[in-house]
Amino acid sequence: MKIDFGEFAVPAAGAIIVGVWEGGEMTDPARRIDEASGGAVGRAIAASPRFGGKRNELLPIVAPANLSVTRIVVAGFGKPAEADTRRFEELGGTLVAHLNSVGETAAAAAIDPGPSAGLAPGLAAAHFALGAALRGYRFDKYRTTEKPERKPSLARLALAGPDPGDARRAYADLAATAEAIAFTRDLVSEPANVIYPETLAEQAAGLTSLGLEVETLDAERMAALGMNALLGVAQGSARPPRLVVMRWNGGDSRAAPLAFVGKGVTFDTGGISIKPAAGMGEMKWDMAGAGVVIGLMRLLAARSAKVNAVGVVGLVENMPSGSAMRPGDIVTSMSGQTIEVLNTDAEGRLVLADALWYCQDRFKPKLMIDLATLTGAIVVALGHDHAGLFANDDAVADRLVAAGKAVGEKLWRLPLDAAYNRAIDSDAADVKNIAGDRAAGSIIGAQFIERFVNKVPWAHLDIAGVAWSKKDAPTVPKGATAFGVRLLDRFIRDNYEAG
């Protein structure tokens, strides 16, 4: 879908989108289209008692008289006082889904919130475009027999408003956001026979053209560093592991970097503690944390963020085999702490233990944030609307929650506490990788990880419930969500970028 920005004019063909506020008051472009169509907009609103102009409500007027457009879509803008960027993203996404479902190939969206909303028209248009681009994403490279009438139709979206230059400027960074998210969604959607540690590392290494520094550590190098927790997970697989380090140096050369660490289990069978067959295919997205970190680093480079950042992803495949770890095995992690592996399916925390320790040891970061599809228990606790947040630093936690609200990627903080920490003391080693009962499973996972952050300000996002969606949302089509890319980009922008 091609997106461009221009002045408002009544289009000659395709769909025209105009907004009305909750209660029915027309925006300026809606009034102009109403006049041009001999009052079609006003009549349609009057004839539709269930249309109230509430946010995301749509009222299509097909083949209006006096105009050559195929349809007018009247879009609910909601209450002017509540109009924000997120509102227009959702509207853009909702409209793209609608236009694709009816077969429109071109549309012009006349987005002018006017003076009653506290939002500049350029910003509203740019975020409408972002929402459209995000919802327009589709992973369809393996669908070879799909009928054309089932495919998305919308090829061109023109944004029309009083300040197209402003909108175009605002959209430059947002287009990079949409591209980074599509990149992450592609990585997460790819099956595990295509994306495995070596190929995922290659995808990251391919981003050097944007100015990122990318290093890849192989098994030998990791063995020399003592990363036996990560290597233990990898040892059952025919696919060798990788650890990828990505660096973006856009800030003061002396400033400590922000660090982002991702769980990249390219497939999680559970290992010898094998998972049940039903739904196991979903475990191809157990590398979503790594996919988000790679996409975030790409975005920081693409928009030349004024910050120093490092991304570390631990890439392994968790397989059962004659060389796999056995329950009860004890491994010595890079930190020196010994780990009793009582369940080989609690593998993400083993990967993160070494990735986080390595990250803080080498980079002395200002803070570390890890993302991981860590526990099924987080889905029991929070479902699919919030990711779990754990942190040893209240300020970092609060900033993450605020950033999540602003972009529609919500977080809910859960506790860390010595009482939970005791549950993973091992009789045979320094720590065990499960508590042994079902109590507080996500907290237990976080407590384990915390033992490997060496008191650096840290937050852990358990994204197991939000990395993949089974239903469409306004700006997120079903499938891989890339949850975390926007959240962390916003977190960085709002709190850590100079000037």
Residues that bind Mn ion (CB under 5 A): 268, 345, 347
**What is the DSSP track for 5-61?**
EE-----SSSEEEEEE-TTSPBPHHHHHHHHHTTSHHHHHHHT-TT----TT-EEEE
126 or 231: CB nearest Mn ion: 231
- Alpha-carbon distance of 37 to 165, in angstroms, equals 28
Query: Using the rule CB under 6 A, is 377 a contact of ligand BES?
Result: yes
275 is catalytic: yes
> Does 347 interact with ligand BES (rule: CB under 6 A)?
yes
Task: Return all residues near 416 (Cβ < 8 A) that are at least 6 apart.
Answer: 390, 391, 392, 443, 446, 447, 450
Query: Among residues 57 and 345, whose Cβ is nearest to Mn ion?
Result: 345
* Whole-angstrom distance, CA of residue 11 vs CA of residue 396: 48
Residue 349 is a catalytic residue: yes
Q: Is the Cβ–Cβ distance between 413 and 316 less than 8 Å? A: no
Q: By CB under 5 A, which span of 26-34, 259-267, 299-307, 488-496 interacts with Zn ion?
A: 259-267
- Minimal distance, residue 51 CB to Mn ion, in Å: 47
CA torsion through residues 274, 280, 281, 285, sign: negative
- The window from 34-42, 122-130, 141-149, 347-355 that contacts Zn ion (CB under 5 A) reads 347-355
Task: For residues 79 and 83, give the distance between their C-alpha atoms in angstroms, rounded to a whole number.
Answer: 7
DSSP single-letter state for residue 473: B
CA–CA distance, 275 with 284 (Å, rounded to integer): 13
Q: How far apart are CA 415 and CA 409, in angstroms?
A: 20
Q: Which residue in 303, 349, 451, 490 is the catalytic one?
A: 349
Partner from Mn ion, Zn ion, ligand BES, none binding residue 376, C-beta < 5-8 Å depending on class: ligand BES
Nearer to ligand BES, 407 or 434 (CB): 434
Please tell me whether residue 271 binds ligand BES under the rule CB under 6 A: no
Q: Could you tell me which stretch among 102-110, 265-273, 394-402, 458-466 binds Zn ion (CB under 5 A)?
A: 265-273
- Asked if 214 is part of the footprint of Zn ion (rule: CB under 5 A), the reply reads no
The one-letter amino acid at 327: P
Q: Determine which helix (DSSP H) or strand (DSSP E) holds 263, and give its type and residue range.
A: strand 258-268
Would you count residue 286 as binding ligand BES (CB under 6 A)? yes
Is 409 one of the binding residues for ligand BES (CB under 6 A)? no
| Interatomic CA distance for residues 17 and 33, integer angstroms | 9
**Tokens describing residue 21:** 């506020």
Which of 300-308, 345-353, 390-398, 402-410 is the region at the interface with ligand BES (rule: CB under 6 A)? 345-353
One of 1, 160, 346, 353 touching ligand BES (CB under 6 A): 346
- By CB under 6 A, is residue 375 in contact with ligand BES? yes
φ/ψ of 412, rounded to 5, equals -130, 125
Closest CA to 470 of 384, 352, 377: 384
> Taking the complex as a whole, how short is the minimal distance between the CB of residue 470 and ligand BES, in angstroms?
12
How many chain residues bind ligand BES (CB under 6 A)? Answer: 15
Among Zn ion, ligand BES, Mn ion, none, partner that 434 touches (CB below 5 to 8 angstroms by kind): ligand BES
Segment interacting with ligand BES, rule: CB under 6 A, options 138-146, 187-195, 204-212, 346-354: 346-354
If the CB atoms of residues 291 and 348 are measured against Zn ion, the closer one turns out to be 348
Write out the residues near ligand BES by the rule CB under 6 A. Answer: 268, 286, 343, 345-348, 373-377, 434, 441, 464
Q: Which residues are catalytic?
A: 275, 349
